[in-house]
Chains A and B, each alone.
Chain A
Amino acid sequence: MQTPKTGADVETAVREFIAENYLFGAGPESISDTDSFLAQGIINSMGVLELITFLENTYDIKVGDDEVVPDNLDSVRQVAAYVRRKLGSPGNNGTGSGHAG
Chain B
Amino acid sequence: MGIQVKDVSYRYPTADARADSARGGWALSHVSIDIDDGDLLAVLGRNGSGKSTFCLLLNGLIPHFFKGRMVGEVIINGRKTSDVEPSDLVTEIGVVFQNPFDQLTGSASTVYDEVAIGPESLGLAREDSHARIAQALADAGITELASRDPFQLSGGQQQRVAIASVLAMRPRILVLDEPTSQLDPVGTDEVFEVVRRLHEQGLTIIVAEHKVDAIADLATRVAVFREGRVEQIGDPKSVLVRRDLESLGVLPPRCATLAMRLADMGIWRGACPLTVGEAKQGLREILDGHHPG
Chains A and B come from one and the same complex: no
* A contact set with B: CB distance below 8 Å: none
* B contact set with A: CB distance below 8 Å: none
